[in-house]
Amino acid sequence: MIRSILNSNVGDSGKALILVAIVSTIGAAPLDAYAQTPTAWSRPIEGSILHDASLLALADEALLDLYNMRYDRADSLFAVIEAQHPDHPIGPFLASLTAWWKILPTLSVHDTSQDRDFLRQMDQVIKKSKGLERKKKNLFDAAFFKTAAHGFRGRLLSDREEWLRAAQDGKAAMDHIFELAEGDTSNADLLFGVGVYDYFAEVIPERYPVVSPLMYFFPSGNKERGLQRLEKAAHEGRFVSAEAAYFLVQIFTSFQPDYARSMEYISMLRERYPGNALFHVMQGRIHFRWGQWVAAAAMFKEVVDQYDANAPGYVPPLVSQAHYYLGRRSMQQNKLTDAQRHFSAVLRLEAQYDYDSFFRVFATLRSGMVHDLQGEREEAKRAYRRVLDQRRYSSSGDRAKRYLKKPYGDQSP
């Protein structure tokens, strides 16, 4: 039952929460253990690197480059920070973000080429955090960066369907997440993790009741409080501001759909980081999701133009999404030649990847539909048969079977 939920259309944040819940079945502490969490951080915050003004200024500059996908410039600044603090986990943590932001735009095709580098950096973060703990030095920083490392690593492992390892990271991240948030209420970054937990601890059991008994072992959630914490992290955070806004976009697009609020946060990200190709595509998808066809098409055309101009960050999996939605828009307008061109572009761009993404499968299906509308029945049937050999998404297989029996466009009883 749990595996069926994890394989369903739940975002990575939702999967991560479910995985944390699963840990309860393999030895997590009962709820009353968490009730003893102190209301004040028991480790000294003074001397934390998070209060070092000169480092924060340098990190701000580096993160601006990172989120604009200027990876080389970001890496050069991250290297300066690591050289200044060789025994501190902040160096490998920041370095890992480059790999992370190369992974995110390729999640749809399961490109694992950056995984090894990312996981190696996260291992270093945890190792150096433990080093600080052994020396009883900067214990607040040790807890903060170790928690962040487990959280980020768990998110990747859940996307890679390594459920047990992801659950272990989820449990490890929870060891300090509440203490951190209570320990320095002036630091909005510390509200990110507990905000994510608060929101999904209430929402996921509502959406998937089978999880509810497992949540007995964990603190209850509060989605409104979670949203407030995520919004504070998005507006006032430093290290995780973009991550918090990214989660809010996902929440207001998928979990409690709200066009105005999803557009508020994606617009904020686009204004801050105009060079970020992932945010560019996400904004187009939000327009499309709520029927803003003209705005969506204009945005997706910009994405294709940026790719053609070799703009950094505009990688094939993102551009294939733009072509897919442009193909759907062309079908709506009965521009069948244009639609077929866009669907063919999806298949061409994703040919280098082994994984059958949602966009590859449905571009194949819709290519067959266009062939049917053009009277090219044999080409249509070949496309439908390819769909049946691909990974199944929602109605893809059923529709392919139906259109094999009766051409698309001629679905009368």
Task: Please check the confidence at residue 318 and state whether its pLDDT lies above 70.
Answer: yes
187 shares a domain with 65 = yes
279 shares a domain with 240 = no
User: Does the residue 37 lie in any domain?
Assistant: yes
CB-neighbour burial class of residue 198 (10 A; exposed 0-12, middle 13-18, buried 19+)? buried
Task: Taking residues 279-287, report their average pLDDT.
Answer: 98
User: Does the residue 364 lie in any domain?
Assistant: yes
pLDDT of residue 258: 97
353 shares a domain with 208 = no
Lowest mean pLDDT among 30-34, 104-108, 140-144, 390-394: 30-34
- Nearest one of 324, 413, 331, 333 to 372, comparing CA atoms: 331
Q: What percent of the chain has pLDDT over 90?
A: 69
Whole-structure pTM value: 0.88
pLDDT tens column, 153-172: 999 999 998 988 988 888 88
Task: Please check the confidence at residue 27 and state whether its pLDDT lies above 80.
Answer: no
- HSE-CB at 353 with a 13 A cutoff on CA atoms is 24
The listed range with the strongest mean pLDDT (165-169, 198-202, 216-220, 375-379) is: 375-379
Structural domain ending residue among the three candidates 248, 283, 310: 248
218 shares a domain with 69 = yes
pLDDT of residue 370: 99
Task: Taking residues 198-209, report their average pLDDT.
Answer: 88
Total Cβ atoms within 10 A of residue 169: 27
pLDDT tens column, 112-156: 999 999 999 999 999 999 999 999 888 889 998 999 999 999 999
pLDDT of residue 173: 84
Integer-rounded Cα radius of gyration of the chain:
23
> What is the spatial distance between Cα 206 and Cα 23, in angstroms, rounded to a whole number?
19
193 shares a domain with 332 = no
220 — pLDDT class (breaks 50, 70, 90)? confident
Task: Please check the confidence at residue 30 and state whether its pLDDT lies above 60.
Answer: no
User: Does the residue 263 lie in any domain?
Assistant: no
204 — pLDDT class (breaks 50, 70, 90)? confident
314 shares a domain with 207 = no
Task: Please check the confidence at residue 321 and state whether its pLDDT lies above 50.
Answer: yes
pLDDT of residue 20: 42
Task: Taking residues 181-194, report their average pLDDT.
Answer: 76
56 shares a domain with 188 = yes
pLDDT tens column, 323-357: 999 999 999 999 999 999 999 999 999 999 999 99
* H or E stretch covering 235: helix 223-236
Task: Please check the confidence at residue 359 and state whether its pLDDT lies above 70.
Answer: yes
The listed range with the strongest mean pLDDT (54-58, 169-173, 236-240, 407-411) is: 54-58
pLDDT of residue 210: 81
- HSE-CB at 175 with a 13 A cutoff on CA atoms is 16
Task: Please check the confidence at residue 379 and state whether its pLDDT lies above 90.
Answer: yes
Structural domain ending residue among the three candidates 209, 233, 248: 248
pLDDT of residue 37: 34
User: Does the residue 269 lie in any domain?
Assistant: no
Task: Taking residues 258-273, report their average pLDDT.
Answer: 98
89 shares a domain with 126 = yes
Length of the chain equals 413
Task: Please check the confidence at residue 16 and state whether its pLDDT lies above 70.
Answer: no
pLDDT of residue 167: 85
69 shares a domain with 142 = yes
Q: Structure tokens of 406?
A: 């009766």
pLDDT of residue 365: 99
User: Does the residue 325 lie in any domain?
Assistant: yes
Mean pLDDT taken over the chain: 87
The tally of domains found in the chain comes to 2
Domain that holds residue 325: 275-405
pLDDT of residue 213: 81
CATH number for the domain including 323?
1.25.40.10
User: Does the residue 264 lie in any domain?
Assistant: no
Which residue is it, tokens 């133009």?
A: 305
402 — pLDDT class (breaks 50, 70, 90)? very high
User: Does the residue 259 lie in any domain?
Assistant: no
341 shares a domain with 242 = no
36 shares a domain with 120 = yes
149 shares a domain with 13 = yes
CB-neighbour burial class of residue 31 (10 A; exposed 0-12, middle 13-18, buried 19+)? middle
412 — pLDDT class (breaks 50, 70, 90)? low
User: Does the residue 314 lie in any domain?
Assistant: yes
